[in-house]
Amino acid sequence: MTQAKQTPELSHLNQQGEANMVDVTEKAMTSRTATAQGFIKMNDETFALITTGKHKKGDVFAVARIAGIQAAKQCSNLIPLCHPLMLSKVQVDFTLDEENNQVKVTSLCRLTGQTGVEMEALTAVSVACLTLFDMCKAADPAMEIHGIKVLSKEGGKSGSWQANNS
Amino acid sequence: MTQAKQTPELSHLNQQGEANMVDVTEKAMTSRTATAQGFIKMNDETFALITTGKHKKGDVFAVARIAGIQAAKQCSNLIPLCHPLMLSKVQVDFTLDEENNQVKVTSLCRLTGQTGVEMEALTAVSVACLTLFDMCKAADPAMEIHGIKVLSKEGGKSGSWQANNS
Amino acid sequence: MTQAKQTPELSHLNQQGEANMVDVTEKAMTSRTATAQGFIKMNDETFALITTGKHKKGDVFAVARIAGIQAAKQCSNLIPLCHPLMLSKVQVDFTLDEENNQVKVTSLCRLTGQTGVEMEALTAVSVACLTLFDMCKAADPAMEIHGIKVLSKEGGKSGSWQANNS
Amino acid sequence: MTQAKQTPELSHLNQQGEANMVDVTEKAMTSRTATAQGFIKMNDETFALITTGKHKKGDVFAVARIAGIQAAKQCSNLIPLCHPLMLSKVQVDFTLDEENNQVKVTSLCRLTGQTGVEMEALTAVSVACLTLFDMCKAADPAMEIHGIKVLSKEGGKSGSWQANNS
Amino acid sequence: MTQAKQTPELSHLNQQGEANMVDVTEKAMTSRTATAQGFIKMNDETFALITTGKHKKGDVFAVARIAGIQAAKQCSNLIPLCHPLMLSKVQVDFTLDEENNQVKVTSLCRLTGQTGVEMEALTAVSVACLTLFDMCKAADPAMEIHGIKVLSKEGGKSGSWQANNS
Amino acid sequence: MTQAKQTPELSHLNQQGEANMVDVTEKAMTSRTATAQGFIKMNDETFALITTGKHKKGDVFAVARIAGIQAAKQCSNLIPLCHPLMLSKVQVDFTLDEENNQVKVTSLCRLTGQTGVEMEALTAVSVACLTLFDMCKAADPAMEIHGIKVLSKEGGKSGSWQANNS
């Protein structure tokens, strides 16, 4: 596990504390990948509804996957200081955690570009979780989305980074 | 605390398990409000950077607030089966939880309309958290977003609903 | 079958032939529904790939359905003189026409509003067909989309309208 | 006329039949062009309204052209598994087919990039046709959009492709 | 000419000086109209190019009109604290001021709703001016956009307002 | 001060006077920068409200800055013949002109690409001005936006250009 040294400064504020979009004009075009994950936890009845029985083959996960992929492409319109960029791959996957009545959502974003794609990966996970919430909220309005974090980053000047205990 | 009875069924799938946008044409126009919350937890150095000292008055929270408000208005473009609707109020607030090095994000959405606005409130919270992540990630890439849930809903046929222990 | 009398004039041009968005401010809020259809024809191998065998339960139709629903909500951003409106229902369905190796796409849009929703229904059908094209184009780049038309309109001052031979 | 060999498989589904955005990270940046066409057929009175007499110089075709160009740029937001890309040229043209009371819409899209642009060309044609429908629907609600297909593709690893009888 | 009394306070900031979207939930639905204007001034050669001779009937003004109408519909996505709303009419017109080599752009927006539409009218004018700039910039990069202001507002609790000397 | 020779022709119209998106496929990828400015003039009470006293540290300028940055990224969706492009830097700044009760807005856009970014810079300025208008309009509805122009352009085949008296 590699852990890049982190300088404790906020690149997104200038010296006056004003919002600052980082200038990446001079950064090299390199292949970059980021992965992220998140969870949505629900009651057991609702978890059963989407994972077993008649709705097992329903569109719940297909809809959430598409929503996550589309959201990754919209990242720079949602997060004000993100750069527009051209993702060459977005992947969203779901794993059932039956012990805890929760769905684990993972995402991978990739491109050849001048800036990292972890915000895109986090956005994909967040919106996929929100879509699962929307599709299940009639059965359980008390669901909780949690554990949204970056799992790994590769490429770019700062090298690879990987979360602890991911 | 009122807890509406929940029928365990998925309104967003039809009998074939296909994605189904609920038909709200015949629902009454009523005043509806929803509140939601979420948290972003960071290391202590980063938390200090955005809450004390020279960046205390920086734009970090202003940017995240605007991102959350704008995202609420984009909800139906992000969540596939959400209805387009005309929010008459979106509010996003931040509370510092200094004991746990985390920021609590709360949102309130309101309108007079035919459908609830909890997805809009959740979207506001999620994107505000993602924006805080983006603005602090140079200092701490290991942050975690958690505890995203609906706090309360008011209005509409199903009456009021409030989360436990919120 | 009811066929409303059509006045042969172009409401979307003013007297100078300039683009003109119709003023619907004074029109009554009434319940309005429109249905539309379209087809995508492919070669027999490709048709078999998405309708039988291992991909039968694949996400092809789920993705196209979501794309169609999302596009209906974007109609006023795509068609310059369409009014923004709040759809209360969008439905997209697929029927397999095995004899002709084609998929029939039908849509229904509904709202209570001041203007008809046939453009939204046509947009849903068009984008669902385009999405099917995208998902199958590696197998058959020579597919053709055809037969896109309005099937019926209900509500509004001009009453009901239904296509011949629909 | 060159006809590239087509492998009958669906690149947009993975082995589980789930939606899959193709990873183009490693593909070469090459110049790519695609052309597409479509038709909108109307009754003779309506066709005359937009092609002769006082509206001959009206904005009907200008509006449809702009709508088609704008839609091509929105392609990756409309078609879920399309990659975002930077079109360097979009062209939309109209030809009057007076014998059949129909307008032929053709489009050309071009870029230097990692993936083909036929979906962009098809989207431009589709939305231009929908806009013509919108502008003429008061005169003829029974119009039909048909014959939407790719005419040719150039560039990329798979080489050139051209439709038969285009 | 009616001039409503203006209270010198900023409704878009709360007591802490934070961005605040006004809550219009309880405001009455009334018919509201706003008009706005702006100018783009260019050198005489460029002004002649778009107003006389071979390009007189070109698409310059049609494109700018469509851009202005589309932008009005996007207002709440561009201006962070604007409410989403359903415009029932957007009009954009151009007047040639030959004496000063400038084009005057005027707009009118209208709806039945809970909030005024002057920001929509101003957005339509601004984007129409920007589009004229874009179309003429190869001939004159030194153009200037000026005089963007609200001409009049009608409807709503505060009554009518009209600019001086408009 | 360098002033590139301007050819008086409209690249955005073809020989028939139809809207024409310039084909930049063959243009070199070079680093390009553009700066622009604009002003919003208000009455003295309103100017004082946002520049002194209790709202001095309010979010007014932070909101307008974010709106300007976001709008620059949306430029190709707002201006019909603009190419989609990937800005690597957007900056929006505010200067108080206390003598004239006006705020000066300046912007800088930059990328490595095939086309200039002056429209992006102008769009950033325009939408930042509109946002300031929105936030102050309750106090002064008679504000005026003026002096929107390009200050300088660098990069690309046509070399540098700088406005007179900027």
Answer whether residue E143 shows pLDDT above 90: yes
Burial (CB < 10 A; 0-12, 13-18, 19+), residue F54, is exposed
Give me the pLDDT at residue C8, please.
55
A99 is in an annotated binding site: no
pLDDT for the residue numbered A158:
76
Question: C27 pLDDT exceeds 80?
Answer: yes
Q: What distance in Å separates the CA atoms of residue F108 and residue F97, rounded to the nearest whole number? A: 20
Q: Which helix (H) or strand (E) holds E102?
A: strand E102-113
Residue of E nearest to D65 (CA): E63
Give percent of chain E with pLDDT exceeding 90.
79
Residue scoring higher pLDDT (B108 or D58): B108
Using N-to-C axis directions, what is the helix angle for D118-136 and C118-136, rounded to 10°? 160
Three-class DSSP labels, chain D? CCCCCCCCCCCCECCCCCECCCCCCCCCCEEEEEEEEEEEECCHHHHHHHHCHHHCCCCHHHHHHHHHHHHHHCHHHHCCCCCCCCCCEEEEEEEEEHHHCEEEEEEEEEEEECCCCHHHHHHHHHHHHHHHHHHHCCCCCCCEEEEEEEEEEECCCCCCEECCCC
Residue E135 or residue D17, greater confidence:
E135
Mean of all residue pLDDT scores within chain A: 91
* pLDDT (tens digit per residue) in C134-160: 999 999 999 999 999 999 999 987 789
Backbone angles phi, psi at F17, to 5 degrees: 80, 15
Crossing angle of the two packed helices B118-136 and B60-73, in degrees rounded to 10:
150
Rounded to 10°, the helix A60-73/A118-136 angle is 150
User: 10 Å Cβ neighbour count for A69?
Assistant: 25
Percentage of the residues of chain B whose pLDDT score is greater than 70:
91
The angle, 0 to 180 degrees and rounded to 10, between the axes of the packed helices C44-51 and C118-136 is 100
Among chain A residues, CA nearest to D18: A62
pLDDT per position as a tens digit, C73-121: 999 999 999 999 999 999 999 999 999 999 999 999 999 999 999 999 9
pLDDT band at B8; cut points 50, 70, 90: low
User: H or E segment at F29?
Assistant: none
Question: Which among F74, F85, F89 is the nearest to A25, CB-wise?
Answer: F89
Q: Which residues of C are catalytic?
A: 134
pLDDT, tens digit, 9 for 90 and up, residues B120-145: 999 999 999 999 999 999 999 999 99
Which one, of F125, F138, F144, F131, lies nearest residue F46 by Cα?
A: F138
Residues of A in contact with F86 (CB under 8 A): 83-86, 113
On whether residue F5 sits in a domain, the answer given is no
Type and span of the H or E element at F135: helix F118-136
- Verify whether the Cβ–Cβ distance F18 to D65 is below 8 Å: yes
Residue D103 lies in a domain: yes
Q: Record the pTM.
A: 0.94
- Per-residue pLDDT for D1 more than 70? no
In B, which residues are within 8 Å of F57 by CB distance?
57
A58 has a chain C CB within 8 A of its CB = no
- Note if A140 is an active site residue: no
Instruction: Tell which of F23, F25, F119 to mutate to test the D interface (max D CBs under 10 Å).
Output: F25
Contact criterion met (CB < 8 Å) for E21 and B62: no
> Residues for chain A: how many in total?
166
Cβ contact C92:C124 at 8 Å = yes
Record: contact D62-E59, CB cut-off 8 A: yes
**What's the pLDDT at B125?**
98
User: What is the amino acid identity at position B18?
Assistant: E
Tell me how far apart the alpha carbons of residues E23 and E12 are, in angstroms, rounded to a whole number. 10
Spell out which residues of chain D touch residue C7, defining contact as CB-CB under 8 Å: 138-139
- In-domain check, residue A48: yes
**What's the pLDDT at F43?**
97
Mutate to test the interface with C, among E29, E78, E85, E88 (most CBs of C within 10 A): E88
pLDDT reported for residue B7: 42
Binding site per annotation, positions of B for substrate: 81-83, 119-120
State whether the Cα torsion F123-C76-C128-C70 is positive or negative. positive
List the catalytic residues of F: 134
Output DSSP code: residue A8.
Answer: -
**Does residue A148 belong to the interface with chain D, where contact is any CB pair within 8 Å?**
no
CB contact under 8 A, C78 and D55: no
- Spatial separation of the C-alpha atoms in residues D127 and D72, rounded to whole Å: 9
Q: Is F12 annotated as a binding residue?
A: no
pLDDT of residue B43 exceeding 90, the answer is yes
In a domain, D59, yes or no: yes
Beta strands in chain A (DSSP E): 30-41, 89-97, 102-113, 144-154, 161-162
Using CB atoms, which chains have 3+ pairs under 8 A with F? A, B, D, E
Angle between helices D118-136 and D44-51 (to 10 degrees): 100
ipTM rounded to 2 decimals: 0.94
Q: Are F65 and A18 in contact (CB under 8 A)?
A: yes
What 3-state DSSP class applies to C52?
Answer: coil
Q: What percentage of chain F has pLDDT greater than the value 70?
A: 91
For A133-161, what is the mean pLDDT?
94
CA angle, B124 as apex, F62 and B99 as ends, to 5°?
A: 80
User: Residue F31 pairs with which residues in a beta bridge?
Assistant: F112
CA distance B111 to B121: 12
Span F106-117, mean pLDDT?
95
Q: What's the pLDDT band for A9 if we cut at 50, 70, 90?
A: confident
C112 touching B (Cβ < 8 Å): yes
Domain that holds residue C67: 34-154
In a domain, F72, yes or no: yes
Residue F23 is assigned to a structural domain of this protein: no
Report yes or no: C33 and C150 within 8 Å, Cβ to Cβ: no
- CB-CB neighbors (< 8 A) of F74 in chain A: 77
Rounded Cα gap, residues F166 and F164, in angstroms: 5
The whole-angstrom separation of Cα B51 and Cα B102 is 10
Q: Residue B118 maps to which CATH number?
A: 3.30.70.640
Is residue E58 one of the residues assigned to a domain?
yes
- Rounded average pLDDT over B90-109: 97
Look-up: residue for tokens 């878009």?
E12
> Which listed residue (A44, A93, A134, A140) is catalytic?
A134
| CB neighbourhood size of D28 (10 A) | 10
Could you tell me which chain D residue has the CA closest to the CA of C73? Answer: D78
Q: F6: pLDDT confidence band, cut at 50, 70 and 90?
A: very low
Number of domains in chain D: 1
Residue whose structure tokens are 């052309």: D35
**Are the C-beta atoms of A31 and A89 separated by less than 8 Å?**
no
Least CA distance to D114: which residue of chain A? Answer: A88
Name the strand (E) or helix (H) holding E20.
none
Cβ contact (<8 Å) for D84 and A73?
A: yes
Contact C84 E89 (CB under 8 A): no
In angstroms, what CA-CA distances link A111 with A125, A126, D20, D76? Answer: 17, 20, 16, 15
Q: Which residues in E lie closer than 8 A to residue D65 (C-beta atoms)?
A: 59
Q: At what angle do helices E60-73 and D60-73 cross, to 10 degrees?
A: 50
Count of helix runs (H) and strand runs (E) in chain F:
4, 5
User: Is B6 inside a domain boundary?
Assistant: no
